Structure 1
Amino acid sequence: MQYTIIPVTSFYQNCTVLWCQNTQEAVIVDPGGEADRIIKFLERHQLKSAAILLTHGHLDHVGASVTLAKQLNIPIKGPHIADKFWLAEIEEQCKLFGFPHHPNFIPDQWLNHGDIIEFGKETLQVLHCPGHTPGHVVFFHAADKLALVGDVLFNGSIGRTDFPKGDYATLIRSIKEQLWPLGDDVQFIPGHGEMSSFGEERRYNPYVSDRN
């Protein structure tokens, strides 16, 4: 599997395009904005889009979803239904943060823990990891030991829990019970910032290290 990270919007949110090398079929994870840049990347690499995947319902992760879904004629999958209230407030979030207008929406498919996403010959496992938001999910590619964790975990930090329905204890439990068992050698792409590994975070992250 191949992937490229495309930071978008003033929040420098990591939109990630994953694709199968055998079929050139691709999925777009968390397209927070700048739909034209994402489409140009797909065209430049001659990728066939299969779906949009969302880790959670915050504007900076979902803003371009409806535009891309319409232009590419592909479904939107995720997050978990517990984030429905966030997707119902996209228009208000745009006003609050000074973003271009994006519509409220409901995805074509809500995702649940244990679901499998297939594109080309690749598969992603879905893990429900609430805390930052109640419906946050993580996508895990077991063969490449790669996780797309959205705003659950960062290089040296963790997601905020001061948003509506966020919960610090739940977030810590999601990280330690859902992510750590995947293995210290798993590399992860966070929603913002640089990549890291679970092993590095277990050693040095002040919020979730094994010393805590």
Structure 2
Amino acid sequence: MKYHIIPVTAFSQNCSLIWCKQTGEAALVDPGGEAERVRQEVAAQGVMVKKIWLTHAHLDHVGAARELALFYHVPILGPHRADAPLLTSLPAQCQMFGVKCIPSFMPDYWLKRGVTLTLGQLSFSVLHCPGHSPGHVVFWNKAAKFILMGDVLFHGMIGRTDLPGGDKATLIHSIQNKLMPLSDEIAFLPGHGPMSFLGHERRNNPCLQALST
């Protein structure tokens, strides 16, 4: 598996280009904006975008999804159906943050717990991890020991719950029951900021340490 991180917009959101080395088939994960720049980065890598995957429906993760799906003629997969109200309210989200309006849209396919996504010879398990938003999902490649995390867990932090659809108790439950049972050596790429490992966060993340005291 190969990946390339493309931080986009004023939110410094980690749009991720991931691809199968054997086939060159790629997915764009959470293309939050700057569609032209994303297209240039994809062209520079010489891969074939086949799918767009969304972890959740906040504007900084979906802003360029529809435009890029139309450009590449590919489907949008995810998030979980529970985020449908957030996709419907995208114009209101944009007004709240004072950014250019993103029209409402719906994905081609909703995702749910237990679904497996394939990309060339790669397989990703979908974990439904609500809390930051009701329909938040993460993408786990067990063979590569790698998770595309979205805004559930960060290096030294956990996701915000003061945004539309957020609930702190639900987020903590997701982290404790969906992520912490996984092995320490799993690397993850969050929706913002640097990569980390589950083991590092288990031992050092002050938000997680507070839960165990």
TM-score (structure 1 length as normaliser):
0.97
Give the alignment of 1:67-106 within 5 angstroms.
67-106=67-106
Shift of 1:21: 0.3
Q: Which ranges of structure 1 fall in alignment gaps of 5 or more residues?
A: none
CA contact (8 A) 2:65 2:76 kept: yes
In 2, the alpha carbon distance for the partners of 1:46 and 1:206 equals 40
Q: Which residue of 2 aligns with 1:126?
A: 126
In 2, the alpha carbon distance for the partners of 1:75 and 1:8 equals 21
Q: Is residue 116 of structure 2 the alignment partner of residue 116 of structure 1?
A: yes
Q: Which residue of 2 aligns with 1:150?
A: 150
Give the alignment of 1:43-54 within 5 angstroms.
43-54=43-54
In 2, the alpha carbon distance for the partners of 1:184 and 1:99 equals 38
Q: Which residue of 1 aligns with 2:201?
A: 201
Q: Which ranges of structure 2 fall in alignment gaps of 5 or more residues?
A: none
CA contact (8 A) 1:66 1:103 kept: no
In 2, the alpha carbon distance for the partners of 1:153 and 1:50 equals 27
In 2, the alpha carbon distance for the partners of 1:150 and 1:32 equals 11
Q: Match of 1:78, SS? A: strand
Question: Which segments of structure 1 move beyond 4 Å, counting only runs of 4 or more?
Answer: none
Q: Which residue of 2 aligns with 1:185?
A: 185
CA contact (8 A) 1:149 1:190 kept: yes
Q: Match of 1:144, SS? A: coil
Shift of 1:166: 1.6
In 1, the alpha carbon distance for the partners of 2:98 and 2:47 equals 32
In 2, the alpha carbon distance for the partners of 1:46 and 1:154 equals 30
Cα deviations by residue, 1:115-144 (Å, 9 ceiling, x for unpaired): 111111111110000011110000001111
How many corresponding residue pairs?
212
In 1, the alpha carbon distance for the partners of 2:94 and 2:165 equals 20
In 1, the alpha carbon distance for the partners of 2:164 and 2:58 equals 11
Q: Which residue of 2 aligns with 1:23?
A: 23
TM-score (structure 2 length as normaliser):
0.96
In 1, the alpha carbon distance for the partners of 2:50 and 2:100 equals 26
Q: Match of 1:130, SS? A: coil
